[in-house]
Homo-oligomer: A and B are copies of this chain.
């Protein structure tokens, strides 16, 4: 059997995003150091040399993966918060729903695991991610909490810590999917997971009964 190489195509515009998409998948799956650039290129349907036409180095590729992924989503969440009218809990719920729809159900879902695994090896990229995604995401949740506490809808608690406790289960849901998730047969249903989390929060953030 003769395997001919597939015909070359010249597609200057499409290459960078095809390459970052392939790289994201492999980085999430195997980690940055364990991913071979040849494999990234292969998955993008291109040769290794082509990869170096568009990215100076492996680290530059990583930086591009992170930068192009997630920042538009944060901006969108800020817009949602800005024009929200209902209760504070309602806003929380909408933020988390949106986050799930825009991250959890897309290819970006692997970014949190990737960022967590590599933060120490790439402090500059971690810093960028922290400033542009984490800090802004937390600020949104924090503002919702403050509003709810000011209006009497929520009881008073330490804001910074409560933010983390609220966000943690969402992050774990994704992290799990790309790590130990393959060990268990039936994956928890994300929608139900979110519902129960919000349910506990709805009641847990209230003023205690007298």
Contact = CB atoms under 8 A, between A and B. Distances in A.
A39 interface: no
Given A168-B168, A182-B126, A205 B196 contact: no
A71 B137 CA distance: 36
A199 B196 CA distance: 17
A151 interface: no
Contact of A200 (B33, B134, B167, B201): B201
Contacts of A32: 31, 34
Interface residues of A, number: 57
Contacts of A184: 130
B200 A119 contact: no
B34 A192 contact: no
Nearest to A29: B120
A171 interface: yes
Contacts of A121: 30-31, 34
A183 B127 contact: yes
A164 B174 CA distance: 12
Interface string A145-172: 0000000000001101110110111011
A115 interface: yes
A197 B117 CA distance: 25
Contacts of A130: 180, 183-184
Interface of A: 29-34, 113, 115-121, 123, 126-127, 129-130, 134, 157-158, 160-162, 164-165, 167-169, 171-173, 175-176, 178-180, 182-184, 188-189, 192-193, 196-197, 199-206, 208-209
Top-7 shortest CB links A-B: A204-B204, A200-B204, A33-B33, A168-B172, A130-B183, A117-B117, A168-B169
